[in-house]
Structures are given as structure tokens and as C-alpha cells.
Amino acid sequence: MLLLSQLVERPKSVLGLATGNSPLGVYQRLIENYRKGLVDMSRASSFNLDEYCGLAPEHPGSYHYYMEKHLFEQVNFRPENIHIPSGVGECEANARDYELELKKCGGIDLQLLGLGQNGHIGFNEPGSAFIFHTHKVALTESTIEANRPLFENPGDIPRHAITMGVGNILEARKILLIATGESKAQAVSAMIHGDITPRLPASILHTHANVTVLLDRAAASAL
């Protein structure tokens, strides 16, 4: 397991973390190994990829809430070492502040990514140009629809988010992308075999020297 090895070999690692269904197994493995005394996260730092605009940290749909529930409250990350964009207030200003935090950290050692059905990484949605810095983004209808099960009231589904840009992601020393399920198969195929294009943001990972892609059979079915 790459994330576990990274923490064991370099306890002061800076980790880029993701949310969604794909990373859940990774976080569960980290928790299990922490409980066995095989890994210590007290000296590590984390930077999450993104957060929804307009959601307070305690909102069940926020990525703050997700990370606390699925990882942080069950391991020994220090609160001062955890960084997640703030979705409260002016998202443009929060994005600029987060960019400055990223620059101060000395670089992400290992970035964990999921893959959207439309090929997005973080919330870098398909478009006419790559955006390299942390920014506020309008979510596509396909992403909004994919998020619908997470919100009881359809009117509560966020339409905007803060996300690391593709440049922030590419600055990581190592990248681990995980994709699961048949719904990701076409995006996986296009990412691996297609051209580098902002219409499929994950395709830019071809320009990075150290990327590992982990797929289940369903996600790999179009290869």
C-alpha cells in the first residue's frame, strides 16, 4: 500500500488527500494499520483537494465532515497539521489563501486522487483550458447529479467548489489515482489512451513522472 509505505518511510510526509467512494478502502486500511501500531500519523501533514462552497465544516455533505468521519477522528493526525479549503464566506479569497498554504508546505509528497465520471480530478472540470492554481469552480451538471445521493434536499446540492488546480496536483512528488466501478470505465480509457486535453482533465497526468493508477476490473473494463 503506497500511502502506508510513504508514512512508514517518511513520517513527516505531506499527503494530498481525496474524498468520494474510491479512497474509502485506503483510509480503512490506514486506520487498521494505525490500530495495530504499524503507522504513526502524528508528524504527517495533509492537504485536501477540494471543498464545496457554502457548506460549513459540520455539514454532513462537506468534505471536512467526510474526512473527520472516515479518517481523522480514528487516527492521530494533529489538528494543526490538517488543511482543508474553507467553503464558508468568499470562496475566491479562500482559494487564494489555500494556494498560499500549499506554497508554504514545501510540496506534497504523495497526492491521492479519485477520478470523476467526466474525467475530472479534484474538481477540475472539463473545459477549454487547464487551470493550474487553486480556484473556485462551477460544477458541471454531471458532477452535480453524481452528488445528488449525498443530499436529502436537491436544493442543497452545491453548485460551486474550491479545488486545487492541475498545477498544484502536478507539483506532488508522487501521485496515486484510484478508480472503481463501471461508471468510471470510459474516463479511465480516455485518460490512458486519449490525448492530453482540458476536455478530460485527468489526461494531464501523462505529463507527470511518477503516477500509479489502481483500478478494479469494472473500471478497467474499457481498456
Element (H, E) at 15: strand 14-17
* Beta pairing partners, 137: 161
Of the residues 48, 94, 99, 120, only one is catalytic, namely 120
Rounded Cα–Cα distance for residues 80 and 14 (Å) = 13
| pLDDT of amino acid 143 | 85
pLDDT for 100-159, tens place per residue?
Answer: 999 999 999 999 999 999 999 999 999 999 999 999 999 988 888 888 888 888 788 899
118 is catalytic: yes
Of the residues 50, 51, 99, 109, only one is catalytic, namely 50
Grid cell at residue 169: 496536483
Of the residues 48, 125, 135, 168, only one is catalytic, namely 125
* CATH level 3 topology of 2-215: Rossmann fold (3.40.50)
Average pLDDT, the chain: 95
Using left for φ > 0, alpha for ψ between -120 and 50, and beta otherwise, residue 48 falls in: beta
125 is catalytic: yes
Sheet strand arrangement including 211-215: 82-83, 45-48, 14-17, 110-113, 174-179, 211-215
pLDDT for 12-62, tens place per residue?
Answer: 999 999 999 889 999 999 999 999 999 999 999 999 999 999 999 999 999
Rounded Cα–Cα distance for residues 84 and 37 (Å) = 26
pLDDT for 184-195, tens place per residue?
Answer: 999 999 999 999
Of the residues 118, 124, 135, 168, only one is catalytic, namely 118
Percent of the chain predicted with pLDDT > 90: 88
